[in-house]
Structure 1
Amino acid sequence: MRLFIKSSDYLFWDAIEDGPIIPMKRDDEGRLVPKRKNEISEDDKKKFQIDDNALHMLFCAFGPDIYSKVSSIESAKEVWDTLETTYEGTSDVKETKIGILNLSYKNFKMEPDKTVSKTFDCFSTIVNGIKGFGEIIPEDKLVWKLLYSLLEYWDGKRTAIIEAKNLKTLKLDELVGSLLTHEIMKLGREDEMEIEERRVEKLEVDKKKKLGVALKASLHEESTCNPLNPA
């Protein structure tokens, strides 16, 4: 919603962040006071309209449930502040959520049953959650964190990336792409090894079957040719 409003007119977002522009004048004592209605100029009305447009844009985005909670509010900033408190909580709640997200980020590790793609999805969810609360983590730190969250069997690939790349300039999507390529190749090699193991196992089984048939035939021939055989 923030991006949509900014892309429509940045002045609308200013109104949401800072509140409506109230036309002011100086009174006889030199103090700034709001203008009376009959003192408001056409230019002042245009400034007033910025907040109305922002408020209208917000209302158009809401469903009935949300609209019923904020329909009586008369400024875009108040509406936005109400939404933040309703859906993100008070400042104390926000601090708690940020603390939980930061702890999840600090302790993040790749799970044994997760692929690179699934791991990156979980990592992105945590990072985007932190970003949603206004905390931006530099990309080089994200690269370092994701790289060192990998399991031990990635040690070889991790070392290769560190030696070949500059982690200060390496992009996160480049790192993920490199890891995905390595994972695909590794899975391909594992499939080939599994196929070869099955082939060897089948040869062993066939060999044992042939030996068993040959042994039975030999015993049968021996029993048939032996004159002492009661049969």
Structure 2
Amino acid sequence: MAEDSELWDIVLDGPFIPTKEVNEGEITRVIPNTRQQYDEAERKKIEKSYKAKKLLVCGIGAEEYNCISACESANEIWDCLRTTHEEGETIHEMSTRFASITNELRSLGEPVHTSKQVRKILRVLPKSWSSKVDAITEVKDLKVLTMDSLIGSLQTHEMNRNQEESKKEVKKDKYLSLKVASRNTSNEE
């Protein structure tokens, strides 16, 4: 948005593709223009699509570049990054994906020290986990904390959060049931 407000629209909505209508008897089809058919306004819009993609690519780290390198547009990159960093990913799924990345780096001669791995994991957790991240950072010595210990602690916290969410859902369902029951009772009276 700070670079150009239209770029964010391109990231969210997808790239501009110049098209034309072609009549084939009773059927009208919309097909993409060739590069030679672009007018100046279309070229500017296409340029913005590339600029949006460039900004996203330049704004990510080397680890994430591997995930998005095959993406054709800023919209595809955004969808890939959003999926990768979705809060719906479990700690186990995240740690498995992270281990895969660090194993690849190790095989390429770039081992990542455990303390750096721990800090990276804590840094990528969603904001809703900030209290747990703060607690681990304050209580544990991050230089000696093992990945197994960190992942175990995070999985325990995740399990507790899921149980609390389940309890809230049950209470909400009971409240709604009581509310509906009380409405039916008042209607009958």
TM-score, with length taken from structure 1: 0.46
Report the equivalent of 2:158: 183
Are positions 1:122 and 2:97 aligned together? Answer: yes
Residue 63 of structure 2 corresponds to 104
Q: Secondary structure at the match of 1:121?
A: helix
Partner of 2:171: 196
Cα deviations by residue, 1:111-164 (Å, 9 ceiling, x for unpaired): 222111111111111111111112211110000011111011010000000011
Alignment of 1:200-215 (within 5 A): 200-214=175-189
SS in 2 for 1:134: coil
Deviation at 1:105, TM superposition (A): 5.6
Provide the alpha-carbon RMSD of the alignment.
1.9
Is the 1:105–1:126 contact (alpha carbons within 8 Å) kept by the matching residues of 2? Answer: no
* 1:77-92 matched pairs, under 5 angstroms: none
TM-score (structure 2 length as normaliser): 0.56
1:5-38, CA deviations, whole angstroms, 9 ceiling, x for partnerless residues? xxxxxxxxxxxxxxxxxxxxxxxxxxxxxxxxxx
Alpha-carbon distance between aligned partners in 2 of 1:155 and 1:120, rounded to the nearest angstrom = 18
Structure index of larger Rg = 1
Equivalent residues of 1:105, 1:127 under 8 A apart: no
* Gap runs ≥5 in structure 2: 1-60, 68-80
Counterpart of 2:143 in structure 1: which amino acid?
K
Aligned-partner SS, 1:148 = helix
Q: Which runs of 5+ in 1 are unaligned?
A: 1-101, 215-231
Equivalent position of 1:139 in the other structure? 114
Q: Distance in 2 between matches of 1:110 and 1:149?
A: 8
% identity of equivalent residues: 29
Give the aligned partner of residue 137 of structure 2: 162
Greater relative contact order structure (CA < 8 Å, 6+ sep): 2
Matching residue of 1:60: none
